[in-house]
Amino acid sequence: MRIINKIESNYIYFLTMTVMDWVDIFTREDYRQIIIDSLKYCQEEKELEIYAWCLMSNHLHLIAAGKENGQFTLSDILRDFKKFTSKAIVQMIKDIPESRRKWLLDRFEFAGRYNKKIEFYKFWQDGNEAKEVYSVEFLQQKITYIHNNPVRAGWVIEPQHYKYSSAIDYAGDKGLIEVIFAY
């Protein structure tokens, strides 16, 4: 079996993690906070290095790496992140008042029904659409792309006005997650 977009150690990657069927789940603060808290945990406990990020309604963009020669590989960090956030978000869907509860759980249950690796619900699509950052120009292009996502969606006029992104950091203010400045 061939591995597509394999992640190697000691490289920086442009990553996209997408919710099954592009379901707009991150429209609720509760679910977004799980992602933010989990990214912070991965930075503090698993040596995740984040250079840029943006959480949209149904996907997460990151430019990230595992710490060079660190204890955890980027692949391991992403696997653990997706596993934890998947379970935490599904549990929150069950626990809080959620008008779409039945529909969301049915979607995620159906997505995992025929996958032997999935016990109950499949929240994230397979893979991370990993693209190795191979040049400064590619890095700058992807950071601009990530930061302009909320502008293209019509949510904000300026990238730095979107709360769930590192654009605010690159504009000189303090965002929700610590970033390593790429330039």
Return the CATH number at 17.
3.30.70.1290
- What is residue 136's predicted lDDT score, i.e. its pLDDT? 93
- pLDDT recorded at residue 148: 98
Are 128 and 5 in contact by the 8 Å Cβ rule? The answer is yes
The C-alpha atoms of residue 147 and residue 52 are separated, in whole angstroms, by 8
In the 8-state DSSP scheme, what is residue 92?
H
pLDDT of residue 3: 45
54: three-class secondary structure by DSSP: strand
Give me the tens of pLDDT residue by residue for the chain, a chain 183 residues long. Answer: 334 556 766 789 999 999 999 999 999 999 999 999 999 999 999 999 999 999 999 999 999 999 877 788 999 999 999 999 999 999 999 999 999 999 999 999 888 877 767 778 999 999 899 999 999 999 999 999 999 999 999 999 999 999 999 999 999 999 999 999 987
> What pLDDT, on a 0 to 100 scale, did the predictor assign at position 69?
74
pLDDT score for 71: 85
Phi first, then psi, for residue 117 (nearest 5°) are -80, -20
Residue 112 lies in a domain: yes
Q: Does any domain span residue 86?
A: yes
- Report if residue 4 sits inside a domain: no
Residue 104 maps to a domain:
yes
**Confidence (pLDDT) at 115:** 72
pLDDT at position 176? 98
Give the range of the structural domain holding residue 103, as residue numbers without chain letter: 13-170
Overall domain count for the chain: 1
